[in-house]
Structure 1
Amino acid sequence: MGKVIYWMNTSIDGYIADPDGGMDFMEPAEDFRLAANDHVRRITAFLFGRRLFEAMEKPWTQDLGQEGAPAIEREFAQLYKETPRYVFSDTLQTVPEGVTIVRRKDAVSAVTRLKQEIDGTLQLGGPELAASLVDLIDEFWVYTFPVIIGEGRPYLPVGKKLLLRPVEHRSFASGTTFRRYVRS
């Protein structure tokens, strides 16, 4: 049976994006990139909300990871492209090869089915999608960058209390931290 992890990068104050949707406040250092590549090697499928999908897809399939880019970026791009991707959207009509559209109304049943069919890790990304699937999330992964932005899009929308147990914590020389939690 598959396991769903919710992995997002955040500011210290818990935002995944600034008020305009930008994520450039997170400047990943090499130590973070190495850890991210290691984690992506263990991902069986990506489950993205539309906004995160749009932020990831073009850069990692077309712009980044090309010849001349740092080896660490090329590796991430290759891993990304080789991993099946599901985008949960009611507005997208077409997607590139390797991507499957799932309508938002079908999200719970689709992820329940994927957990039963896929023996591996399903990496969920996007706070609104995570909020709608919170009862199916097995682990919460948070990379926190040493910056406070004051406002923006939170890791999870307010309104749901979850009791979690920390099972892993790592600090990187760059100041970024990684925390992994499971349900208590």
Structure 2
Amino acid sequence: MRRLTFGMNLSLDGYINAPDGDLGWGVPSDELFQWWSDRVGATGTALYGRKLWEAMSSHWPTADQRPGATPAEVEFARRWREMPKVVFSSTTSAVDWNARVVTGDAVAEISRLKADDGGPLDIASATLAAAAMRAGLIDEYAVVTHPVLVGGGTPFFATLDSWVNLTLMETRTFPGGVVLTRYETRR
């Protein structure tokens, strides 16, 4: 069974973006950017919702060709293109860069992917992760908390019907007061 992790940057008050969708508060330090790049390099398949897919696919496919691209950006772009991706959307019909679209039942497809052979699965979408949380499919949470209060936006955690007990696996502090906490779901 493949392991499913939900990890994203979030504000201290629990949002992955500000009310207007702004992500400017979450610019990573070089060390945090490398941590995210290493996660992408270790991911067997990434699971994206439409909005995050549009943001990522508008930048990373050619980011390594832009003037002034850093070696870390070049590495991330290469890893991102090579990583298999599944985009869950009812409105997107065509994707590229080693991705495919799923328009049907997200929970059924995530369950199927977990049962398949392959490397770890990462969800990179709060809305998609909410469905997986409610279905009890998430094995690990990688919470990267930035020291900012944005006052609203898209919450990292979904409203759940019952408690989910977690075990702390790791804590790490990055420059700028950013804190990673990794938790495993207790079953």
When normalised by structure 2's length, the TM-score is 0.92
Partner of 1:13: 13
Partner of 1:54: 54
1:65 aligns with 2:69: no
Q: Percent identity?
A: 36
1:38 aligns with 2:38: yes
Q: Indicate if the aligned counterparts of 1:45 and 1:123 stay in contact, CA closer than 8 A.
A: yes
| Structure 2 Cα separation of the partners of residues 168 and 115 of structure 1 | 23
| Structure 2 Cα separation of the partners of residues 136 and 57 of structure 1 | 26
How many Å apart are 1:173 and its aligned residue? 2.7
SS in 2 for 1:5: strand
| Structure 1 Cα separation of the partners of residues 89 and 81 of structure 2 | 20
SS in 2 for 1:21: coil
How many Å apart are 1:147 and its aligned residue? 1.3
Q: Which has the higher strand share?
A: 1
1:99-133 deviation line (CA, Å, top 9, x unaligned): 11011x42122111111213311010111111111
Partner of 2:128: 129
Unmatched tracts of structure 2, length 5 or more: none
Partner of 2:139: 138
| Structure 1 Cα separation of the partners of residues 97 and 34 of structure 2 | 27
Aligned residues: 182
| Structure 1 Cα separation of the partners of residues 78 and 176 of structure 2 | 25
| Structure 2 Cα separation of the partners of residues 22 and 118 of structure 1 | 37
Letter in 2 for 1:168: E
SS in 2 for 1:48: strand
Residues 18 and 48 of structure 1, relative CA distance in 2, 3 Å threshold? same
1:116 aligns with 2:115: yes
Letter in 2 for 1:79: R
1:76-98 deviation line (CA, Å, top 9, x unaligned): 11100000110000011111141
1:52-73 deviation line (CA, Å, top 9, x unaligned): 11111111113x2225301111
Letter in 2 for 1:164: L
Q: Considering only aligned residues, what root-mean-square deviation do their CA atoms show, in Å?
A: 1.4
Unmatched tracts of structure 1, length 5 or more: none
| Structure 1 Cα separation of the partners of residues 64 and 122 of structure 2 | 21
| Structure 1 Cα separation of the partners of residues 109 and 127 of structure 2 | 16
Q: Indicate if the aligned counterparts of 2:29 and 2:176 stay in contact, CA closer than 8 A.
A: yes
After TM superposition, which residue ranges in structure 1, 4 or more long, deviate above 4 angstroms? Answer: none
Query: Does 173-182 or 41-50 show the bigger shift?
Result: 173-182
